[in-house]
Amino acid sequence: MGIYTILRPLLFRLPPETAHDLTLKALAMTGRVIPARTPDDHILACTVLGKKFPNPIGLAAGFDKNGEIMGGVLKLGFGFTEIGTLTPLPQPGNSRPRVFRLPGHEAVINRLGFNNLGQVAAYHRLSLFRAGMTRRGESAIVGVNIGANKNSDDRIADYEKGAARFAPLADYLTVNISSPNTPGLRDLQALPQVTKIVTRVRKVAPDTPILVKIAPDLDMDDALAVAQMAIEKDVDGLIVSNTTIDRQGIAGAHGGEEEGGLSGQPLFDASTAMLSEIYGLTRGRLALVGVGGIASPEQAYSKICAGADLVQLYTGLIYEGPWIIGHLRRGLAELLRRDGFDAFTMNRLAAATDLAKGTLYLYFATREELVLALYTDLHDGWMKRFIDAEKQMATPDYDALCARFYHSFVADALLVDLASRVTFGLEPHVPLAAWITAKQAQTRSAKRLGGMLCHIFGCDPAQAQRLAWAFLAGLSGAQQRAIDVDGRSDIPADLQKLSVVMTSREVFLNMVLPLAPYASNQNTPIQTLSK
């Protein structure tokens, strides 16, 4: 990133769109001579939409609208790229100026309006790119984002045309109904309209993965309704989210009054919250792509924790430069290893489940599929049984609740064994998909547990949610202490002993509170209960 710290002030002296055009030309000219990308850390590999991604970090639509720099983008280290938004006919977009930087917020406002050279030109470029990759024996994942012309008489037909044209070439199609810069386009997010669109798109593209890109400004109930529709109508996934028209995060900022979609750091929290809610409903039945405000490995990691299978960025590239992708790849791999994911074998799983390895492969094509089924079923089943039992508590009893929480977990030796493998990396090189599975199960547990704690102790939902995460943190601490330096001890037995100790209110609080960002809040229920 050092070079870009010199170049950025120069680029930022230019109008944003001029700087963007120069960047595109530079990447187009140098794409052929950019050295081959460094190999991806195998811990980042994941299979999504039936495609094998070298890493889960992609370039969002809007940067390479016309498919001019696909090769250069992938050489930089992106795991995939998405071109567009492409409309059937070329269109100039809205009048300039139409892009505005907000450096103090690391944000951008744009009202470009689907400016592009049309689908025919992009189809030609993508065809040549695919032919070149095939000739060289290389592979690349390229998605195509399709939209409707501003003056179209039949916008649904425009999406149908785009899907029919690009289905043979695209690794996936994105239906963009959430840009705020085409009048009336977001109205297509209404359930009847989006249902018509995806039905017609699926008809002309029966074998191509289809994603729908939604806005962060959707009411949560409407967003969840779209997600449910996607499941029912054979849509493969959602991209969460597009830019926002909300200006709360940039109140008073110079340029913040400009019309258009806001992207960058102010979008991170809202888009991540929507992502988490949608995952809570879909639970792996849809592929989810997390977009909005990613500029660091930690932010990419947070999106994955919230349920994303893949992530995308755009504005982060503007502020951090093309070297951000290398930083994200290295940092994300480090974060995954920090949390213990390093290897997982079918042999080990066979041993844990008392099944022959051949039997596992009979029902599960990959180890990721098995982990998803086994860990999710065991973890969700345990949490449901615990919550169903504790809802019947006559009077709040914190110490008794702690005891039963830990004891109910260690009662299932297989759950303990598998959770320890997945969560704390007893072996090297666990695939990203398995790690995502574990984190998503924990997130669901926290939501369910928070609801129960809110009911039992009468605290507000936010406090109950934080207390739920404290419970899970305590459980994780007990698990870690039960693992030998050289491998595994008798985990269930050791956890049994530790869980008894952990029922002590003082020990529990001392272990958990230093890890909790809300520890200083003297009004939290956990503080109140400790008195």
Task: List, by residue number, the catalytic residues.
Answer: 179
Nearest CA among 176, 192, 181, 272 for reference residue 226: 192
Any alpha helices (H) in 145-185, and if so which ranges? 155-166
Structural contact between residues 148 and 185, judged by C-beta atoms closer than 8 angstroms: yes
Task: Let me know the angle formed at the C-alpha of 472 by 470 and 478, rounded to the nearest 5 degrees.
Answer: 105
DSSP-assigned letter for residue 267: G
**Chain CA centroid to CA 288, Å:** 6
Task: Let me know the angle formed at the C-alpha of 296 by 25 and 10, rounded to the nearest 5 degrees.
Answer: 40
The residues pairing with 239 across neighbouring beta strands, listed in sequence order, are 213, 289
**Chain CA centroid to CA 378, Å:** 23
Nearest CA among 258, 257, 224, 218 for reference residue 241: 218
Strand pairing of 99-102 and 107-110?
Answer: antiparallel
**Cα 442 to Cα 430: distance, rounded to the nearest angstrom:** 17
**Chain CA centroid to CA 500, Å:** 37
Q: How many residues does the chain have?
A: 531
Cβ count near 378 (within 10 Å):
18
How many helices (H) and strands (E) the chain has is answered by: 21, 15
Cβ count near 522 (within 10 Å):
7
Structural contact between residues 84 and 61, judged by C-beta atoms closer than 8 angstroms: yes
Structural contact between residues 489 and 482, judged by C-beta atoms closer than 8 angstroms: yes
**Cα 31 to Cα 18: distance, rounded to the nearest angstrom:** 20
**Cα 399 to Cα 469: distance, rounded to the nearest angstrom:** 17
